[in-house]
Structure 1
Amino acid sequence: MSYENLSGRTAVVTGAASGIGEAVALQLAAQGARVALFARRADRLETVAGKIRAAGGEALVVAADVTDDASVEAARDLVHEAYGPVDLVVNNAGVMLPNPVDDGRLDEWQRMLDTNVTGVLRVIRAFSADLVAAAAEGRTADLVNVSSIGAHIAFPNYAVYGATKAAVTYLSQSLRTEFGPRDVRVTNIEPGLTETELKTHVGSTELSGQLDGMFEAIGGLTAAEVADVVAYATSRPRHVNLRQIMVLPTRQA
């Protein structure tokens, strides 16, 4: 794809230790952005940061848990101390724990809600002032939320995961009414089948086998292909908002 250079931009990417988050961080850094890497696994983040630095980019490792208010606030302070205010936020951290609803797995439901919904809100709370200020100064400001095709298409046993992603999609739509008039872009990305660590969260052998079968029949996107879409959207001229992007493997209906 054709990009405008992202040099001068300061980005935060959550869930940056692997999968789509890692790929987004690598792509944004390759386009010239300074990238703060958020995830719980600091050792994995160090590996990602090493890749970025080896390619000549700038990266900051920030061990952060999006399910914890104090952790997110401390992470914000670390970013401000090292890089100053940010103008590009990618909310990517997420967990996928499918099971039949009548299994009553309250622990799994709470974990998905805390990470996929409230975690997104915590990060928005931490950095929205930065984004609004950047836009007021005439700079490009982006909030990117990574949702899922599961926000629209029902899959058996994925009801709660899909509901959390539907919440993210609706949240993105609503936030445009608040941030858009102040020149902050909000982009909602909805990937279909993608090769990431989310597959390893599936505990049931039967459900894991169903997922593997879908990948065999349809073929999944790579994390880098989804990251390419994020980089493209955030590198448009600041008055152009690619507001909703559904990216699927060609064979996925």
Structure 2
Amino acid sequence: MGYPALNGRTAVVTGAASGMGEAIARQLVADGARVALLARRADRLAALAAELGPNALAVAADVTDQAAVDAAAELVHETFGRVDLLVNSAGVMLPNPVDDGRIDEWSRMIDTNLTGVLRMIRAFGPDLVAAAAAGGTADLVDVSSIAADVVFPNYAVYGATKAALTQLSAALRSEYGPRDVRVTNIEPGLTDTELGNHIDNPALGPDGQLGAMFDAIGPLAAADVADLVAYATSRPRHVNLRQLVVLPTRQA
């Protein structure tokens, strides 16, 4: 499905090298937006940008690195100018029992899933405010997770970062909404992405607990989430779909 209202918009999408971020970028470009593809893997981004054409810009950057985010913002502004749509889709999911004390994983999830979002908002939030003040449509979209609301054993820290992101979105709405910047928080359920490949505990990964959930439930496709992002951001300027939960039909 296409969303003509997105034609001419200028977007930044994090986590664009794969999964939901890639699918969101593809959807936005297909709908006529200019999209900066931001992620760590430069080779994947370059290939995607070449496929999508001149409305796609590859921007290799790690959202946990402030200097990299600053350089990315400079490149985006030099190439595309002011941004009016920011999608925070970059994230990592590293489940393990809390008894394992995996501070390395905890730090990585907090730095990416929460602080990384704040870095992006710091870089592009002023653009959104300026776009709205000029009479345009401006959107901040945070891709959270159903884990923000539902408890999954071994996912305590991941769930905590996503709960923080959902709360952050709600709080930002109180600051941005009066200035006509929309904030949408999306909480997908089980979705087919590369996140499971980062799990280093075989009992919890694609060949264990996560794989069993995929078999029992059947996941969403990343394109399903992308379609929801495009739908939400293509509504009339005065309409904010503030909180969206999207689940596979079989996921309770």
TM-score (normalised: structure 2): 0.98
- 1:78-117 aligned at under 5 Å gives the runs 78-117=75-114
Question: What secondary structure, in the 3-state scheme, does the structure 2 residue paired with 1:5 have?
Answer: helix
2:162 — aligned with what? 165
Question: What secondary structure, in the 3-state scheme, does the structure 1 residue paired with 2:191 have?
Answer: coil
Identity of aligned residues (%): 73
Cα distance in 1, alignment partners of residues 139 and 45 from structure 2: 23
Cα distance in 2, alignment partners of residues 127 and 139 from structure 1: 15
Question: What secondary structure, in the 3-state scheme, does the structure 1 residue paired with 2:6 have?
Answer: coil
Cα distance in 2, alignment partners of residues 18 and 47 from structure 1: 12
1:46 offset after TM fit, Å? Answer: 1.2
1:219 — aligned with what? 218
| Per-residue CA distance 1:2-41 (angstroms, 9 max, x = gap) | 6343121100000000000000000000000000000010
Unaligned stretches of 5+ in structure 1?
A: none
Cα distance in 1, alignment partners of residues 235 and 44 from structure 2: 30
8 A contact 2:62–2:69 mirrored in 1: yes
8 A contact 1:3–1:236 mirrored in 2: no
2:147 matches 1:150: yes
1:220 offset after TM fit, Å? Answer: 0.1
1:230 counterpart letter in structure 2: V
2:122 — aligned with what? 125
| Corresponding pairs, count | 250
2:61 matches 1:64: yes
1:247 — aligned with what? 246
2:2 matches 1:5: no
8 A contact 2:11–2:34 mirrored in 1: yes
1:11 counterpart letter in structure 2: A
Equivalent residue in structure 1 for 2:73, among 71, 76, 89: 76
2:35 — aligned with what? 35
8 A contact 1:37–1:62 mirrored in 2: yes
| Per-residue CA distance 1:206-250 (angstroms, 9 max, x = gap) | 111110000100000000011000000001111000000000000
8 A contact 2:9–2:34 mirrored in 1: yes
TM-score (normalised: structure 1): 0.97
1:142 offset after TM fit, Å? Answer: 0.3
1:199 counterpart letter in structure 2: G
2:15 — aligned with what? 15
Cα distance in 2, alignment partners of residues 177 and 64 from structure 1: 29
2:227 — aligned with what? 228
1:227 counterpart letter in structure 2: A
Question: What secondary structure, in the 3-state scheme, does the structure 2 residue paired with 1:206 have?
Answer: coil
Cα distance in 1, alignment partners of residues 234 and 51 from structure 2: 22
Root-mean-square deviation (Å): 0.9
1:201 offset after TM fit, Å? Answer: 1.1
Cα distance in 1, alignment partners of residues 148 and 80 from structure 2: 34
8 A contact 2:4–2:32 mirrored in 1: no
- 1:157-196 aligned at under 5 Å gives the runs 157-196=154-193
Question: What secondary structure, in the 3-state scheme, does the structure 1 residue paired with 2:203 have?
Answer: helix
Unaligned stretches of 5+ in structure 2?
A: none
